[in-house]
Amino acid sequence: MAFAIIAGYLAGALAGYAASRGNRIAGQWRRLIRVQLLCVSAVLSLLAAWRLPAARDLIWPALVTIIAVALVGVAYLLTPKSSERAGRAVLRGWSAIPNPGFWVVPLAAAIAGPVGLIVAVFIDRVMIFFFGFFVWILRRQAPIKQQVRTSWIDQAPLIALLIGLVLNAFTEPPAWTSVALEWAAPLLAAIGAAMFVGSVLHPSQQIPWRPGIRVWLVLIAMRIALLVPLAFIAPNAAIAAVLVLCAFSIPAFYPPQLSVLYGYADSVVAAASRLGWVFAPVGVLLAVAITRG
């Protein structure tokens, strides 16, 4: 599984780079982003919610989500006043949030086993409730005016999550849903990497990124300082491993994509996309040490 995940990231990154070199594909990139939201993120939301075992399993995902929302709040305080302040603050805070769907979930499957995988998936899905609100803000202040009919596609992950919770309440999840979640990891890695690289290299995102380093460092320091202590009080090694993977996560994939989709261009998002990878090896090494120790 670990090899398949690494191969997925490499294949996806190469595909995203190749796409960025073609003007024709770059021109259609916004449509591809919406296809991903509808066909990948929504399906994962539905399966994860359907397999939710009990409310107590949401405690750790809820704590990580609270920290993620706090990052957006701090980003708002650090964002200068303007007509787009709320939208830019969402993108800046989101760029410092852990990347559960395309990093923690695949790595948890390979390092922390089934328990870690479920916790990582729940982190990703609990965040969807707030991400739906963030998307609403981004659409409302988008420099590129959004058509009303596209809102249901942009909110598809949240809609699918609600459907999954209804299914969870009235039916037992089939066995194949567990297998699908586990083997979705390499696919998530490939698709996520492709969309991320293609968005970062999109012509609309070729802006100076060094001015955003200071704000990004403040947000990343806050993320690490709040998440690492939770790993010490986690009830088992699998959850602790997931928490350190969140603390030392790669950049979130959605801010560059949504920047392209809605017409934003922010130096903090650009800085996060380029520098956020340096902490990832620390998280992987700590997660392996925790689960093997």
- The values of phi and psi at residue 81, to 5°, are -65, 135
Domain containing residue 204: 2-292
pLDDT per residue as tens digits for the range 126-177: 887 788 888 889 988 888 887 777 777 777 777 887 888 788 878 888 877 7
Picking from 164, 139, 142, the residue whose alpha carbon sits closest to that of residue 41 is: 164
Q: In the chain, how many domains are there?
A: 1
Distance of alpha carbon 186 from alpha carbon 148, whole angstroms: 33
The pTM of the full predicted model, rounded to 2 decimals, is 0.81
Residues 37-52 pLDDT 10s: 666 677 777 777 777 6
Confidence of residue 53 (pLDDT cuts 50, 70, 90): low
Residue 188, domain CATH: 1.20.1530
Q: Tell me the residue length of the chain.
A: 293
DSSP assignment of 116-151 equals HHHHHHHHHHHHHHHHHHHHHHHHHT-SSPPPGGGH
Alpha-carbon distance of 258 to 253, in angstroms, equals 9
Q: Is pLDDT above 60 for 263?
A: yes
Rg of the Cα trace of the chain?
18
